[in-house]
A and B are shown apart, each in its own frame.
Chain A
Amino acid sequence: MNPAALPLLDQALLVLAAMALFTAFALLAQTRLTAAIHTFAWQGALVAAVAALTGRASGDAHLYVSALITLALKVALIPWMLHRLVRRLALERQADPLEHPALTLLAGAGIVVFSDWVAEPVAHFDASATRNVIAISLAIVLLGMLMMVVRRQAVAQVLGFMAMENGLFLAAVASTHGMPLVVELGVAFDVLVAMVLFGVFFLQIKNSIDSLDIDRLSQLAEPVEDDDVRGDAP
């Protein structure tokens, strides 16, 4: 595929999607929480721009609605809620360095190659930009997953979770011009409720172990000797 031969709109889509992929890598490597939240907001903005641009190209009015929902949810509301939580829990200055940064980024690159391979059957239908955007969105989903695996900090894990949602939205927009509106509203509702629950959890975790380091939550992994204090037994 020669990118220069594509229509201008498709080229713009590709550039925006590639930038979203870049932010996924930035999220993966970013150790400061506040900066990571900003990066996440940028990713949301890029994805919303892809949706609006696709809406312009195809004339689907409901894509504008999806773009607006994304803008409100992923660029404004969720980053704002996360900021507030981070401030409330006094985590602004906390850094959460990766244990093996080079290895993690290499794994990320491997994920991109893998996604390209998985998206290959799509080329059967569409030789144009769609296939690449699907590969990119799958890569964003899997990078979000990788982020949840390698990061210790609860807030960083939530960012990974939300980045996965961004990737899914990008996939829906690029491959099918968005899901039916009722489904998209349902998904947005689920994401919002999930965010509220995450907030509740942060406070619970903070209260119970006085830290948001998930590694400290490892009681169940080991054989526990004093089972009586936990669980359903009064």
Chain B
Amino acid sequence: MIALLLTVFTPLAGMLLLGALRSARVAGWLNLALCALSLAGALWLAADVLAHGAVAGASFRVDALSVYLVVLTALVGLTTAIFSRPYMRYVHEERRVTRGGLRLYHSMYQGFLFTMLLALTTDNLGILWVAVEGATLATVLLVSLYRTPAAIEAAWKYFILCGVGIAQALFGTVTLYFAAQHALADPAANGLSWSALYAVAPQLEPRVMSVAFVFLLVGYGTKVGLVPLHSWLPDAHSEGPTPMSAVLSGLLLNVALYAVVRMKMLTDAALAGSATPDLAGHLLMGFGLVSFLVAAISLQRRRDIKRLFSYSSIEHMGLMTFGFGVGGPLATFAALLHMLVHALTKSAIFITVGHATHISRTQRIDRIRGLIRTQPAVGWGLLIGVAAIAGFPPFGIFTSEFLLLSATMHAWPWLTIPLMIGLVVAFAGLFRSVQPMVFGAAPPGQYPVRANMLPVIMQLALVLLLGIALPGLLAHWLDQATQLITGRHLL
């Protein structure tokens, strides 16, 4: 209980504290310390859940599925804070952001982490919605932090598109509550509690639940970045400050997908006896596959390095959505593992990209050249990160993609063909852009910058470790989450 409070409310306190703090130097360090404190709480919470099973209370519930995302969120929050402290100071020195903007940045960074952790730990589906919408509100002003016309356009698009999407999710939540009214004894008290609904899910009216799920999928799917409602994602990623891109890709997309998975669990249980028991899974498979393929094609010939990697995020989110849609223990396990390794790799890549754009002073791919000559650490970081994200063995993404492919081969053999083609196309798109950036001839007058590669090294090492030998503890952990979602153990 104390662990939970420590994890979730440290960022809330941090948001208020950093909003009031004037010194930018102290703010950077304080931001770091708060993230570390939150991570400590998250680890403690995880130990609790691992030892005693789900921690549940009046309106919160932390089980195997949510606690692993809580730890991941706190971890990526911390590593990005390590990167953002010197980076934002450099941006400030370049006069691209004012002192007040910097204060807003630090305060909203914590605010964003608070909404993410709240969404993951709450049991109330209404609060889940409020938290996911809160995440948009916390980040939207950060996307326009640089005040360029393009940044303002990106932020407006992000705000409007996510607002529209998330409104659909609220309608879905209302519909769900309507279904609950007829199944629960005391709907006013716990009608939106996920665990109460899950307990009585077979009595929820299947047709109302199908309608609710479609709206919830469209709503939260917008935030996952599923095609066709994905167009906010590359803009918001490319125009905002780089640490924001790292946490948006690494955390926000995961949390939105987590919401979709929770809704799928309810819908699956409610539709089990109806004429269309796999409706939710089929919808996820369709949206996931289309997003995956569209993003793989969009990866070709990008001009902006951050847009390139945000399309790669859409591609991987599509893959995970597809995995959850296929269902079954193997595919679900693969999707959960993929969530983990993708978040670690992608935030490491965005941190490296931040340094790369700092070196070459542009985001244009055709002007970023010779990173490995100028600063080997950044060049190698980008190269290894891209190798990992493209699914090279022995990195963790290879493992999860391999598991996902074998699960697909088992359940839907024909769908492995588009998956394979998509992976190859994405790989080609990434490497065609990255190869000259890393190995090309460095333009004259390009100097190394001060870069702290510690977070990148740590995260990529973790991804490598997950690929070579999945630790027993973690495998057991993911297996528990798989059991929660599908009702069966994999291991």
CB within 8 Å of B: which residues of A?
A: 118, 121-122, 124-125, 134, 138, 141, 144-145, 148, 154, 157, 161, 164-165, 167-168, 171-172, 175-176, 179-180, 182-183, 186-187, 189-190, 193-194, 197-198, 200-201, 204-205, 208-209, 214, 217-220, 223-224, 227-234
**How distant is the Cα of A220 from the Cα of B124 in the complex, in angstroms?**
38
Q: Does B187 contact A (CB under 8 A)?
A: yes
The answer, among B157, B177, B354, for a CB contact under 8 Å with A172, is B177
- Neighbouring A residues of B91 by C-beta, 8 Å: 234
Taking the nearest CB of chain B, how far is it from the CB of A126, in angstroms?
Answer: 9
Q: Is the CB of B304 within 8 A of A209?
A: no
- Neighbouring B residues of A165 by C-beta, 8 Å: 167
Q: Is the CB of B306 within 8 A of A232?
A: yes
- Neighbouring A residues of B96 by C-beta, 8 Å: 234
Q: Is the CB of A175 within 8 A of B171?
A: no
- Neighbouring B residues of A218 by C-beta, 8 Å: 153
Q: Is the CB of A148 within 8 A of B152?
A: no
Chain B interface size band reads 35 or more
**How distant is the Cα of A145 from the Cα of B218 in the complex, in angstroms?**
13
Known contacts A161-B163, A168-B174, A208-B148; can you find 20 more A-B pairs with CB under 8 A? Answer: A125-B208, A144-B167, A165-B167, A176-B174, A176-B181, A176-B187, A193-B137, A197-B140, A197-B159, A208-B152, A217-B149, A217-B156, A219-B149, A231-B148, A231-B363, A232-B241, A233-B357, A233-B361, A234-B94, A234-B358
**How distant is the Cα of A224 from the Cα of B151 in the complex, in angstroms?**
14
Tell whether A161 pairs with B177 under 8 Å between CB atoms, given A121-B205, A220-B154.
no
Taking the nearest CB of chain B, how far is it from the CB of A142, in angstroms?
Answer: 9
Q: Is the CB of A187 within 8 A of B130?
A: yes
> Which of B153, B210, B242 counts the most chain A CB atoms within 10 A?
B153
Q: Does B75 contact A (CB under 8 A)?
A: no
**How distant is the Cα of A93 from the Cα of B211 in the complex, in angstroms?**
42
Q: Does B410 contact A (CB under 8 A)?
A: no
Taking the nearest CB of chain B, how far is it from the CB of A62, in angstroms?
Answer: 9
Q: Is the CB of A175 within 8 A of B364?
A: no
Taking the nearest CB of chain B, how far is it from the CB of A174, in angstroms?
Answer: 9
Secondary structure call for the B interface: helix
Q: List 8 A-B contacts (CB under 8 A).
A: A161-B163, A187-B126, A190-B130, A201-B144, A217-B157, A231-B148, A231-B239, A232-B363
Taking the nearest CB of chain A, how far is it from the CB of B473, in angstroms?
Answer: 36
Query: Which 10 residue pairs are nearest across A and B when measured between Cβ atoms?
Result: A183-B126, A186-B130, A121-B207, A230-B150, A217-B153, A175-B178, A233-B362, A231-B363, A208-B149, A234-B94
The answer, among B94, B126, B129, B153, for a CB contact under 8 Å with A219, is B153
Q: Does B56 contact A (CB under 8 A)?
A: no
The answer, among A134, A138, A183, for a CB contact under 8 Å with B192, is A183
Tell whether A230 pairs with B177 under 8 Å between CB atoms, given A197-B140, A219-B150.
no
Taking the nearest CB of chain B, how far is it from the CB of A41, in angstroms?
Answer: 20
- Neighbouring A residues of B363 by C-beta, 8 Å: 227, 231-233
Q: Is the CB of B164 within 8 A of A148?
A: yes
**How distant is the Cα of A172 from the Cα of B177 in the complex, in angstroms?**
9
Q: Identify the closest chain A residue to B155 (Cβ).
A: A201
- Neighbouring A residues of B249 by C-beta, 8 Å: none
Tell whether A182 pairs with B124 under 8 Å between CB atoms, given A190-B130, A230-B150, A232-B242.
yes
**How distant is the Cα of A144 from the Cα of B283 in the complex, in angstroms?**
25
Q: Mark B167-200, 1 if CB is under 8 A from A, else 0.
A: 1101101110110011000011001100000000
Q: Is the CB of B152 within 8 A of A204?
A: yes
Q: Is the CB of A234 within 8 A of B171?
A: no
Residues 329-383 of B contacting A (Cβ, < 8 Å)? 354, 357-358, 360-364, 367
Q: Is the CB of B182 within 8 A of A125?
A: yes
The answer, among B159, B241, B303, for a CB contact under 8 Å with A223, is B303
Taking the nearest CB of chain B, how far is it from the CB of A170, in angstroms?
Answer: 10
- Neighbouring B residues of A164 by C-beta, 8 Å: 164, 167
**How distant is the Cα of A223 from the Cα of B181 in the complex, in angstroms?**
51
Q: Is the CB of B163 within 8 A of A176?
A: no
**How distant is the Cα of A164 from the Cα of B133 in the complex, in angstroms?**
14
The answer, among B148, B154, B177, B205, for a CB contact under 8 Å with A125, is B205
Q: Is the CB of A227 within 8 A of B167?
A: no
- Neighbouring A residues of B155 by C-beta, 8 Å: 201
- Neighbouring B residues of A179 by C-beta, 8 Å: 126, 173-174, 177, 192
Q: Does B417 contact A (CB under 8 A)?
A: no
Q: Does B160 contact A (CB under 8 A)?
A: yes
Q: Mark B104-146, 1 if CB is under 8 A from A, else 0.
A: 0000000000000000000010110110011001001100101
